[in-house]
Amino acid sequence: MPLGGAADRFAVAIGNALVGNPPAAAALEVSLSGPTLTADSELACVLYGAPFEMSVGGATWEAGKTFTLRSGESLRIGGTPRGMRAYLCVRGGLQTPIILDSRSSLEPLRTGAELYCQPGVIQVRRFQYEFVWNTEPRLLHVVEGPQADWFRAEEFYPQSFAVTPASNRMGLRLRGEALTLPERELVSEPVCPGSVQVTRDGQCIVLGVDGQTIGGYPKIAQVISADLDKLAQLRPGEVVRFRRVAFETAEALYQTKQAELHEWVTRLRTAEVFAS
């Protein structure tokens, strides 16, 4: 089974904290362009992540700012000028079916679908956090992959790669100067989100949260845990580069990011308690 769940776990945790939910409460992931949703009861909501254009009850609204969607009102989510994904979080979480202890779904939302939520209202709150996590070209920190010695590091690390349109939650297909492949084959072995595989044409694929668990392509690198959320916000046409770091650095960056997330979630949930 793939890992699944939110592609940007930092964003969904902050969005859930804004409406008083635990970090892993089920939310609706929006990619590049969003849906139009109509409420049949009052709902306490926020759209958090990439700065999508949106309107609430016909009035323009700012992503990242909480709102109460009244019964009969519509929420319209348009596109985003930067980034790729955002999360519609509703107080109480989306009440989707639980399968294997998870509410995640691998299917997109279809026209006419119903999302079951708990009624609620919320004061207007806004979380000001700079969304742009990097300047062009985007930078991904990696540690060496199990087959790193199959390739020439000087072909991989200095160059830039473009994200192609053939990318999704399973993985990002990149296009760059083809890497030189050795005359050898790899027996299929475990892979995970962030694995940088090299295909037979010398191009790279970075696995995402819905990626397979077993793969036969050699892995030149592994995106560190602290940078996995960045994969969710890379859109077609953007350029990425890879920077190799030591395992100790990867661990330190992960601990720093987790501490930052814990601090913000604690602050937001504490503020929610006092507001209530």
pLDDT tens per residue, range 35-74:
999 999 999 999 999 999 999 999 999 999 999 999 999 9
Q: Give the closest residue to 159 by CA, choosing from 188, 137, 182, 181.
A: 137
12 and 88 Cβ atoms separated by less than 8 Å: no
Query: What per-residue string of b and e applies to 41-65 under the rule 16 or more CB within 10 Å gives b?
Result: eebbbbbbbbbbbbebeeeebebbb
Average pLDDT rounded to a whole number, residues 254-260: 94
Which residues share a beta bridge with 88? 28, 47
Helices 247-275 + 9-18 axis angle, to 10: 10
Q: What is the mean pLDDT of the chain?
A: 92
112's CB contacts (< 8 A; 6+ apart) are none
User: What letter would DSSP give residue 238?
Assistant: -
What mean pLDDT do residues 83-110 have?
Answer: 90
Q: What is the pLDDT of residue 72?
A: 96
Span 186-208, mean pLDDT?
Answer: 96
pLDDT score of 197 = 98
| Rounded CA separation 163/136 (Å) | 13
Angstrom distances, CA of residue 30 to CA of 88, 129, 273: 7, 19, 28
Distance CA 230, CA 193 (A): 12
CA–CA distance, 90 with 38 (Å, rounded to integer): 13
For the chain, the structural domain boundaries read 9-132, 138-245
Asked whether residue 132 carries a pLDDT value surpassing 60, the answer given is no
CA dist 213 and 135 (Å) reads 31
| DSSP structure class, residue 55 | E
Tell how strand 59-62 and strand 161-163 pair up. Answer: unpaired
Cα torsion at 92, 95, 96, 98 (round to 10°)? Answer: 90
pLDDT of residue 273: 55
Tell me yes or no: is domain 9-132 CATH 2.40.128. no
- Closest C-alpha to 206, from 166, 250, 159: 166
Is residue 105 helix, strand or coil?
coil
Single pTM value for the model: 0.93
List C-alpha distances in Å: 89 to 133, 139, 216.
Answer: 22, 28, 37
Topology of domain 138-245, CATH: Cyclophilin (2.40.100)
Q: Which has more pLDDT, 65 or 127?
A: 65
Cα gap 269→252, rounded to integer Å:
26
pLDDT band at 269 (very low <50, low <70, confident <90, very high): confident
CB 114 within 8 A of CB 195: no
| Average pLDDT over every residue of 66-91 | 96
The average pLDDT across 6-12 equals 94
